[in-house]
Amino acid sequence: MTDLYDLTIDETRDLLKNGEISSTELTRSCLERIGSVEERVKAFVTVTGEAALEQARRSNCGTLSSDPSMPLNGVPMQIKDIMCTRGIPTTCSSRMLEDFVPIYDATAVERLYSQGAVLLGKGNMDEFAMGSSTENSAFFPSRNPWDLDRVPGGSSGGGAAAVAAGEAIYALGSDTGGSVRQPASFCGVVGMKPTYGLVSRFGLIAYASSLDQIGPITRDVTDCSLVLNAIAGHDPRDSNSIPHHVPDYTSALTGDIAGLRIGVPKEYFVEGMDDGVREALRKATSVLEGLGATLEEVSLPSTPYALACYYILALSESSANLARYDGVKYGFSYRDTDNMWEAMEKTRQYGFGAEVKRRIMLGTYALSAGYYDAYYLKAQKVRTLIRREFEEVMGSYDALVTPTAPTVAFRLGEKTEDPVQIYLGDVYTVPANVAGLPAISIPCGMSDGLPVGMQLIGSHLSEGALLRIAHAYEQATDWHSMRPQL
Amino acid sequence: MALGREEVQDIAALCRIGMTDEDLNVMPEQLSHVLEMFQTLQELDTENVAPTGHSVSVDTVMRADESHPSASPENVLANAPQRDGDLFRVKVVLEE
């Protein structure tokens, strides 16, 4: 039998329901796995072992496990350390919030708890979600379970690494420009960024408010649907939350995609992509054709501008959002001066890491008098062009298929000197954030022993269609069932 | 658009981030390189294009004017770096 920590949520359902295993056994299995591999993988900022066993114990005693509408009951998971968890430190992997203990739970966390979920701990990330490798964590970088000398991707790298390494059955990440999908791609797991507004951002520490979305990181598409079922839905505490009836996403998993139309945007298959990624995508698209879908080349001419558009918007919004860290109400506070301005400047100088400071500085510049029109307003107009292009193309297609990232996981320290080199890795993921569209990354091959991800992008609120295609692909291949040897 | 040391200092003052000499040595080039990438947007004609603030249009959100309990003072102050009774203690704001 498979080790318990390696099961999917779906696989645990019957076992838990029939009493063949208990949540305590399942949770203990994950905690033991954490005990044996975490020293190498470094996926967690905080492990809440005792609290997890207490939650598991309560789940064993309850009657929830016999209720099929609660498939997450008793299943242990990890939450990215950017979502508030009451009474449990929430650091954003930053010195600024190293000692911060929230007084409430994020809505997404609250919804998982209400389903009986068991929290194993908080996931490492790039500081304030700014990065693509977790190397910007103020504490330590996480490692890719497929090759410990390589990054797991980021910013939700701790989540993807934990799920791939068997340390958690699933994880919640957040995706502002690809931070769920790119690490999922690098670690060979499934990661989804829902439509902007589908999952409440209440309690999600803000990076770029018009782009941030919480999303599931799971071992397969069925699990992705189950987690999305639990976290999606209107929340009056997030004013950009969409008042939308949330369907049962598992009902979309029919296995049948015959007759669906899938666009292949030619601007996503240009130079700069690894040959191994190109080859994996070529094979994956022919699998989709073999399943009866029609694939056609489409054009999204503004794609080359999406990266600059994204970074201007994200950095501008981050400079405003991170202005709150002034050392007064919470977080790190520099004390060795009586001067208010010096205290604030030193608080931010020592509390933030280099990349966070760069991004706040660039955002401040882009919003400053005399430059606003040339940068922020211009980017908002380009955002309109990008959104319109997607809308036009999506009128004729059920989804678009692209690589998730131009490369497989890179080596630690390989790309830390020049920020622009790192930003270029986000080229395929940022357009969906700019346009607010749902997108999913699923494993679609290996290149040099490292996982490659395929991205499906859909129109607003088309999560069902994306999950249907991803699931059908998954049924026809076995990339999702591959596990790294640790 | 290349930024010099002085401009970087000005930006740092705007966002209240203290800078070391080392920061001021490396930041101008790093930031300028990113700004070069930003410049590429100027190639696009956006003359008659309206800006998009949010990708999903949600109308102005209203809620019923009902009172809800707020967090207790103890909770609000739980993470205070320095507190004085039920108050946050701050540095002197108004100087003589």
When pLDDT is cut at 50, 70 and 90, the band that residue A68 belongs to is: low
Q: What separation, in Å, do the N-terminal and C-terminal C-alpha atoms of chain A show?
A: 18
Residue with token string 């998009």: B52
CB distance A156 to A133 below 8 Å: no
Is A380–B20 a contact, with Cβ atoms under 8 angstroms apart? no
CB distance A133 to A410 below 8 Å: yes
In the numeric block, which tokens belong to residue A4? 């318990």
CB distance A183 to A137 below 8 Å: no
Between residues A77 and A414, the one the model is more confident about: A77
Active-site residue, A80 included? yes
Residue of B nearest to A102 (CA): B79
Whole-angstrom distance, CA of residue B25 vs CA of residue A202: 39
CB distance A472 to A257 below 8 Å: yes
Residues in chain B within 8 Å Cβ distance of A345 = 16-18
Average pLDDT over residues A290-306: 97
Q: In what order do the strands lie in the sheet with A213-218?
A: A44-47, A118-123, A76-80, A170-175, A213-218, A190-193, A439-447, A450-457, A399-403, A261-265, A294-298
Question: Does the CB of B52 have a partner CB in chain A at under 8 Å?
Answer: yes
What is residue A293's predicted lDDT score, i.e. its pLDDT?
98
CB distance B8 to B28 below 8 Å: yes
Residue of A nearest to B51 (CA): A381
* Side chain identity at residue B13, one-letter code: A
Among A29, A137, A174, A179, the active-site one is A179
When pLDDT is cut at 50, 70 and 90, the band that residue A397 belongs to is: very high
CB distance A319 to A359 below 8 Å: yes
CA distances from A106 to A26, A74, A150, A332, B80 (A): 25, 19, 31, 22, 20
Q: Determine the residue among B5, B23, B25, B56 to mutate to test chain A binding: the one whose Cβ has the most chain A Cβ atoms within 10 Å.
A: B56
State the complex-level ipTM: 0.95
What is residue A62's predicted lDDT score, i.e. its pLDDT?
63
For the full predicted model, state whether its pTM sits above 0.95.
yes
Question: Does the CB of A324 have a partner CB in chain B at under 8 Å?
Answer: no
Whole-angstrom distance, CA of residue A10 vs CA of residue A190: 14
For B11-70, write each residue's pLDDT tens digit: 999 999 999 999 999 999 999 999 999 999 999 999 999 999 888 776 788 888 999 899
Largest CA distance in chain B: 58
CA distances from B88 to A102, A306, A346, A389, B31 (A): 17, 43, 19, 50, 36
Long-range contacts at B59-66 (CB < 8 A, ≥ 24 apart): B61/A239, B63/A236
Active-site residue, A200 included? no
Whole-angstrom distance, CA of residue A308 vs CA of residue A427: 9
Residues in chain A within 8 Å Cβ distance of B57 = none
For A248-297, write each residue's pLDDT tens digit: 999 999 999 999 999 999 999 988 899 999 999 999 999 999 999 999 99
CB distance A416 to A294 below 8 Å: no
DSSP string, A52-74: HHHHHHHHHHSSGGG-TT-TTTT
Residues in chain B within 8 Å Cβ distance of A344 = 16
Is A338–B92 a contact, with Cβ atoms under 8 angstroms apart? yes
Q: How close B82 comes to chain A (CA, Å)?
A: 8
For A413-471, write each residue's pLDDT tens digit: 988 777 888 898 999 999 999 999 999 999 999 999 999 999 999 999 999 999 999 99
Whole-angstrom distance, CA of residue A469 vs CA of residue A467: 6
Active-site residue, A209 included? no
For A314-336, write each residue's pLDDT tens digit: 999 999 999 999 999 999 999 99
In the numeric block, which tokens belong to residue A363? 């955002």
Question: Does the CB of B24 have a partner CB in chain A at under 8 Å?
Answer: no
Between residues B91 and A421, the one the model is more confident about: B91
For A181-222, write each residue's pLDDT tens digit: 999 999 999 999 999 999 999 999 999 999 999 999 999 999
For A360-391, write each residue's pLDDT tens digit: 999 999 999 899 999 999 999 999 999 999 99
For B9-22, write each residue's pLDDT tens digit: 999 999 999 999 99
In the numeric block, which tokens belong to residue A151? 């990054």
Q: Where in chain A are the domains? A: 4-259+473-481
R_g of chain B computed on alpha carbons: 23
DSSP 8-state secondary structure symbol assigned to residue A192: E
When pLDDT is cut at 50, 70 and 90, the band that residue A1 belongs to is: low
Whole-angstrom distance, CA of residue A462 vs CA of residue A437: 9
State chain A's mean pLDDT as an integer.
95
Long-range contacts at A390-394 (CB < 8 A, ≥ 24 apart): A390/A300, A390/A431, A390/A435, A390/A437, A390/A457, A390/A459, A391/A459, A393/A263, A393/A265, A393/A298, A393/A299, A393/A300, A394/A458, A394/A459
Q: How close A471 comes to chain B (CA, Å)?
A: 26
Neighbours of A31 (CB within 10 A): 22
DSSP string, A249-309: GGGG--S--TT-EEEEEGGGSSTTS-HHHHHHHHHHHHHHHHTT-EEEEE--TTHHHHHHH
For A91-144, write each residue's pLDDT tens digit: 999 999 999 999 999 999 999 999 999 999 999 999 999 999 999 999 999 999
Residue A69 pLDDT > 80, yes or no? no
What is residue A72's predicted lDDT score, i.e. its pLDDT?
95
Is B51–A380 a contact, with Cβ atoms under 8 angstroms apart? yes
Is B16–A326 a contact, with Cβ atoms under 8 angstroms apart? yes
Residues in chain B within 8 Å Cβ distance of A240 = 54, 56, 58
Whole-angstrom distance, CA of residue A480 vs CA of residue A289: 19
What is residue A205's predicted lDDT score, i.e. its pLDDT?
98
In the numeric block, which tokens belong to residue A18? 């029939």
User: A4-259+473-481 in CATH: which number?
Assistant: 3.90.1300.10
**Residue A360 half-sphere exposure, CB side, CA atoms within 13 Å?**
26
Whole-angstrom distance, CA of residue B71 vs CA of residue A421: 44
